[in-house]
A = this chain, B = another copy of it.
Amino acid sequence: MSLGLGLIGTGFMGKAHALAYRAAEAVFGDVPPVRLARLCDTPVENARRYATQFRFDVATDDWRTLMAAPDVDIVSITTPNALHKEMALAAIAAGKHVHCEKPLALTIDDAEEMEAAARAAGVRTMVGYNYIHNPAITHARRLISEGVIGKPVHFRGWVDEDYQADPDLPWTWRAKRADAGLGALGDLGCHLVSMSHILMGEIESLIADTQIIHDTRPLPDGSGRGTVENEDTASAILRYKTGAQGTVCTSRSAWGRKNKLDWELHGTKGMLTFSQERLNELQLYTNDGPKSQQGFRTILTGPEHAPYDSFCPAPGHQLGFGDLKTAEVATFLRAITAGTDAFPSFTDALEFERIIHAIDISAREGRRVTL
């Protein structure tokens, strides 16, 4: 069996999907072959150029025909967030498996509609929370489940970039809630929530605040200044269902942070910390052995930490961003073959994204939000 891919979008994530689908079988061996069937972008010249570069069979600027095509089994959606819903619903209606970039949608209502449709149709879904496919993260989960750091009791996470840090950047559609939805929470915060979820479990309730640092920006046409409607930063204090507490914070205006997605997890016997900008490392402290020899240790990922070994048999050689995407794709392909749910499916992603919207609601309404 081979699976035909219909990919929509050729930008940052479009290329990342193309590379990952091209690589998955060769890296892992145990995943079904993928045919790069159809690539959609506008204008069509763009689609054609990248169809050649990525070696798709067909280039198109009409995503509806892509979805209708019998040679397409999987639709991969990497377009701007505002387009996810319409495309995903159409793909589901066409009976395709859907791989959608995060976040699912601009609003939680839309995300719920997408999730319900996918569940009703019985198609397989996957959402692009690629950082959780990192072997370092998988290893962290294993250490937690084996009790190496005891019972998790506290969590702190931060996800920051600096793409909106410059006060002089012009206003764009990203600043408009109707077009972009949430700000830092939607772009970045949801990644952190996905980490929190897999490491700490479900959240019971939270309190939060958000901040718009640059409340207007110069309009690109020079006609004045446009209003920034969505948050530059968000901070929340969480209560998990286990009784643990934690904080999650995000900023899109944090100078110097390029892909910060850091967390620390406090257990009753030790601590784990992680930093995405050094994605091949995991820090572990345990209250074991002589006190005089205790300390945080840097575990450098290697073949002991699946699926690192599928990429490289030698430790310390480093996986990259693209490799995490390839691991995500392989997870999805295996789920399709097995007829089981992939993780994170639309259903899982909906849970993650409920949290970022709860943070937004708590901040706007000044109240504790129970999930």
Q: B278 near A255 (CB under 8 angstroms)?
A: no
How many angstroms between the C-alpha atoms of A93 and B268 in the bound complex?
47
From B245, B296, B304, B319, give the contact of A292 (CB < 8 A).
Answer: B304
In the complex, what residues of B have CB within 8 A of residue A319's CB?
Answer: 318, 320-322
How many angstroms between the C-alpha atoms of A7 and B121 in the bound complex?
44
Q: In the complex, which residues 49-66 of chain A have their Cβ closer than 8 Å to any Cβ of chain B?
A: 53-55
Q: In the complex, which residues 222-252 of chain A have their Cβ closer than 8 Å to any Cβ of chain B?
A: 233, 235-237, 239, 244-247, 249, 251
Residue of B nearest to A282 (CB): B295
From B266, B269, B295, give the contact of A300 (CB < 8 A).
Answer: B295
Decide if the interface of chain A is mainly helix, strand, loop or mixed.
mixed
From B53, B153, B237, B270, give the contact of A237 (CB < 8 A).
Answer: B237
Q: B165 near A287 (CB under 8 angstroms)?
A: yes
A148 beta carbon closer than 8 Å to chain B: yes
A256 beta carbon closer than 8 Å to chain B: yes
Q: A154 near B26 (CB under 8 angstroms)?
A: no
Interface size classification for chain A: 35 or more
From B27, B296, B311, give the contact of A298 (CB < 8 A).
Answer: B296
From B161, B233, B239, B321, give the contact of A245 (CB < 8 A).
Answer: B233
How many angstroms between the C-alpha atoms of A294 and B294 in the bound complex?
13
A183 to chain B, nearest CB (A): 14
Which residues of A line the B interface, CB within 8 A?
Answer: 11-12, 15-16, 18-19, 22-23, 25-27, 29, 33, 53-55, 139, 143, 148-150, 153-154, 156, 158, 161, 165-167, 207-209, 211, 213, 233, 235-237, 239, 244-247, 249, 251, 253-260, 266-271, 277-280, 284-287, 290-300, 302, 304-305, 311-323, 366, 368
Query: What are some 6 contacts across the A-B interface (CB < 8 A)?
Result: A156-B249, A235-B245, A255-B269, A258-B317, A259-B314, A318-B318
